[in-house]
Structure 1
Amino acid sequence: MTTPYAIAPSRLAAIIDFLQTAEKLKDTLRSGITSNGRAESTAEHSWRLCLMVMLFDRELAAYDRLKLLRLCLVHDLGEAISGDVPATCQSPDDGRAARERADLETLCAPLPDDLGREILGLWDEYSRGTTPEARMVKGFDKLETMLQHLIGRNAADFDYAFNLTYGAQHTVRHPLLFQIRELVDAATRERIAACGTRK
């Protein structure tokens, strides 16, 4: 007796091909440093961003929580091709968004059309901030980076003051984001003061 396939073999092969290429995100390093002193990967950043959103599920009841998680998963996916640009090196006119979008198109090329369109659509939604969910994820994305700065075993000359202005426009859009921001800013000021006393 032959067992019927749950998915067309060609569709399955295309999805596996995409997943194997997307695995490169595990080796795409960011400028953030882990608490053990090694560079974090973009995949690790995206994982903890998903975890943050999941933990605030109750506070985010008015949002499409599945969409929030999908946006978290795809927001940096294009970095699997060309890598990450450190937050301290980013500027609004650096062409980074267009490059990352083009890289994501390359990454999604093996996928069935419906899945490729879905991932690119989610990335566009996040990049443009066109929905409440996209704007919320942008805020969480900035906060995750700031939290990593605080816990990382950073170099002695690390500029903690960067945290105090980073992503400010994205973290004032919702009371939860603002509340987390206040906590992170207070911890940042404590870290700056502690570093100043060691000089």
Structure 2
Amino acid sequence: MNAFQMITFIKELERLKDTTRTAYMRSGRRESVAEHSWRLAMFAFALSDEFPELDHFRVLCMCLVHDLGEAYDGDISATIQVNQQEKIRKEEEAVQRLTSALGGKQSGAILSLCQEYNRGETKESQFVKALDKMETIIQHTQGTNPPGFDYEFNLTYGKEYAEYDEMIKAIRDEIDKETLKKMNENA
């Protein structure tokens, strides 16, 4: 890889700064995919001492790349029913397109991490998936959402990913308490 290829890739990543998610910030503006991925990585980093068995470099990289596939078609709300296999296929194609300037080895490594995340079979991917869902819900309770926002959906969203570990489950329980509080405030 040369300097031009690297700069081309980094410029292409700007798309994720402009790609908004369905979560809102405290200010009322919509959160970007890049902001979500950064905070997810910080969430994982802050918990790293609690999970010494994990490959934390792999975890942090997975946090940073897990939503790269949203660069071209955007974020699809979890409340919208879609064909998950088709969504994953399109996102993996987008990752290949986004990373094409890097060349085979780096592009392949990033795609491999995205696929590992999507499969959710490794300890690292299960950890990232659990935190990904919880970070989203934290943003929903922290943000200034539009009237009629469906907080109740958050009580079940991704809950199955938190069941594998007591610490993760405890964090999820606290997040659910915040969701219930938000629901009561908006009732």
CA–CA distance in structure 1, aligned partners of residues 112 and 46 of structure 2: 25
2:18 equivalent in structure 1: 27
Q: Which runs of 5+ in 2 are unaligned?
A: none
1:62 equivalent in structure 2: 53
Moved over 6 A (4+): none
Q: How many residues align?
A: 187
RMSD: 1.3
TM-score normalized with structure 2 length: 0.96
Write out per-residue CA displacement over residues 161-191 of structure 1, whole angstroms, 9 at most, x where no aligned residue.
0110000111112222101110011111111
Instruction: Name the amino acid aligned to 1:80.
Output: A
Change (3 A) 1:195 1:94: farther
1:160 aligns with 2:148: no
CA–CA distance in structure 2, aligned partners of residues 88 and 100 of structure 1: 18
Q: Which runs of 5+ in 1 are unaligned?
A: 1-9
Q: CA deviation at 1:90?
A: 4.2
Write out per-residue CA displacement over residues 94-137 of structure 1, whole angstroms, 9 at most, x where no aligned residue.
72111111111111111121101110111111111121001110
Return the index of the structure with the highest Cα Rg. Answer: 1
1:4 equivalent in structure 2: none
Instruction: Name the amino acid aligned to 2:45.
Output: M
| 1:31 match: secondary structure | strand
Q: CA deviation at 1:12?
A: 2.0
Please give the residue correspondences for 1:1-199 in structure 2 after superposition, counting only pairs within 5 Å: 11-93=2-84, 95-196=86-187
Write out per-residue CA displacement over residues 42-73 of structure 1, whole angstroms, 9 at most, x where no aligned residue.
00000100110111121121111111000000
